[in-house]
């Protein structure tokens, strides 16, 4: 687990004030292809930039993962970079004190001799300052790259070129910034098999943004957690609570260009809620009564209520699809991750 250096209310106020002053001065000097923790920039813009590079023929990505970057930032190197931009000794001393304030763990405060404490308003700006050195090096070498915080992708035209770039970046980071590349999580590969900020890309001359498989797996795991039977919620309560997560998720991943995936997820969500309802109806007689009450014919209702199949399979059955249609699930608050739900 990564320790969080949550500052006190007063420290947070001071850090925020310092950050606002320094960011106004520093941000215009940062790389145009750096998108993380910067005003007016977003993860979606970073993904779009990556997509443009791929479409221009740079079909190999050098996916660089820095090993425990936020925990490994060298304080002396960072303070040296700050000192080139800040002459006030009081500010320099203040920033150094923030870096070395320590973290509370097990009831004891341990010193921090390296890294930028997670949780402080100033940390993202200091991290960008540190990695701006990498940005400028990549720009000097003429590379096409995108960086979002410590997630950096360089786009090249061939596997051999990518391997040369990876080796060169590893040497530069170790020598100049004393940072390591996590070889287990880094790779030179086609963008279609790597992920960037939760997205990957289709192949071909006109790549499209798609949701990375890992992000889809996390989505389904979260939905399963939010719809656990042991939560003791009614179907309407479950739909409304689930929708809080769905709306936020759609706000980010709705940026994909594969709407069929979103429609498939919607179908999966509706099937899951129908399966939950089937479990809540508990036994054959109650299930038969619910199906009849919701307009299902006697013969189909009896056949479904007496079925030996489990809730998941029956969640996609004609009887439950008719009894709990899309319109009904929408009316009890179930949000859509694709297009607005129709009848």
pLDDT at 215 over 60: yes
The confidence score (pLDDT) of residue 341 equals: 43
Averaged pLDDT for residues 80-100:
91
- Residue 19: CA count within 13 A, CB half-sphere: 19
pTM: 0.86
101 pLDDT above the threshold of 70: no
Q: What's the whole-number mean pLDDT along residues 136-145?
A: 97
pLDDT tier at 109, thresholds 50, 70, 90: very low
Where is average pLDDT lowest: 27-36, 63-72, 102-111, 180-189? Answer: 102-111
For residue 108, name the pLDDT band (cuts at 50, 70, 90): very low
Distance CA 214, CA 195 (A): 8
pLDDT value for 107: 46
Confidence of residue 97 (pLDDT cuts 50, 70, 90): confident
What is the average pLDDT value for the chain, to the nearest integer?
A: 90
pLDDT at 73: 87
Mean per-residue pLDDT for 287-303? Answer: 97
> What's 210's DSSP letter?
E
pLDDT-wise least confident of 47-56, 91-100, 226-235: 226-235
Q: Which helix (H) or strand (E) holds 199?
A: strand 199-201
CB 262 within 8 A of CB 256: yes
- Span 60-82, pLDDT tens digits: 999 999 988 888 889 999 999 99
Q: List the structure tokens of 130.
A: 């540190």
- Min mean pLDDT across 95-99, 106-110, 172-176 is at 106-110
The two tokens of residue 229 are 């039977």
Secondary-structure breakdown of the chain: helix, strand, coil percentages, each rounded to the nearest 5: 55, 10, 35
- Distance, in Å, from the CA atom of 123 to the CA atom of 212, rounded to the nearest integer, reads 28
Are 289 and 233 spatial neighbours (Cβ–Cβ below 8 Å)? no
What confidence category does residue 291 fall into, taking pLDDT thresholds of 50, 70 and 90?
Answer: very high
Distance CA(211)–CA(257), nearest Å, equals: 9
**pLDDT level of residue 339 (50, 70, 90 thresholds):** low
Residue 112 CA to residue 99 CA, distance in Å, equals: 7
- Looking at residue 7, what DSSP letter applies? P
Q: Note the pLDDT of residue 106.
A: 53
- CA 89 – CA 135 distance, rounded (Å): 27
Q: What are the Cα distances from residue 256, in Å, to 51, 166, 186, 328, 334?
A: 11, 28, 24, 27, 21
pLDDT at residue 296 in the model: 97
CA angle 110, 114, 115 (to 5 degrees): 100
């Amino acid at each position: 687990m990564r320790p969080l250096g949550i500052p006190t209310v007063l420290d947070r106020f001071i850090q925020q004030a310092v950050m606002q002053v320094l960011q106004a001065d520093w941000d215009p000097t940062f790389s145009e292809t750096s998108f993380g923790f910067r005003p007016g920039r977003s993860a979606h813009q970073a993904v779009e930039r990556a997509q443009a590079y791929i479409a221009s023929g740079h079909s190999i990505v050098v996916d660089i993962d820095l090993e425990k970057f936020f925990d490994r930032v060298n304080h002396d190197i960072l303070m040296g970079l700050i000192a080139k931009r800040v002459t006030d000794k009081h500010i320099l001393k203040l920033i150094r004190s923030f870096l070395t304030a320590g973290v509370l763990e097990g009831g004891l405060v341990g010193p921090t001799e390296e890294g930028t404490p997670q949780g402080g308003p100033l940390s993202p700006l200091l991290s960008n300052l540190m990695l701006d050195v990498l940005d400028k090096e990549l720009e000097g070498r003429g590379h096409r790259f995108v960086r979002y915080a410590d997630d950096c992708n360089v786009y090249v035209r061939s596997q051999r070129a990518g391997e040369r770039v990876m080796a060169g970046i590893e040497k530069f980071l170790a020598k100049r910034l004393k940072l390591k590349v996590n070889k287990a999580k880094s790779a030179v590969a086609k963008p279609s098999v790597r992920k960037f900020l939760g997205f990957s890309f289709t192949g071909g001359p006109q790549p499209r943004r798609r949701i990375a498989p890992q992000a889809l797996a996390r989505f389904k795991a979260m939905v399963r957690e939010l719809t656990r039977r042991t939560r003791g919620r009614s179907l309407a309560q479950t739909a409304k609570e689930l929708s809080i997560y769905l709306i936020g998720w759609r706000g980010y991943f709705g940026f994909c260009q594969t709407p069929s995936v979103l429609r498939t997820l919607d179908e999966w969500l509706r099937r899951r809620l129908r399966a939950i309802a089937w479990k809540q109806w508990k036994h054959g007689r109650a299930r038969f009564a619910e199906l009849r009450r919701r307009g299902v014919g006697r013969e189909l209702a009896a056949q479904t209520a007496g079925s030996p199949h489990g809730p998941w399979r029956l969640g996609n059955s004609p009887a439950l699809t008719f009894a709990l249609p899309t319109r009904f699930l929408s009316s009890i608050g179930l949000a859509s991750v694709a297009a607005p739900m129709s009848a």
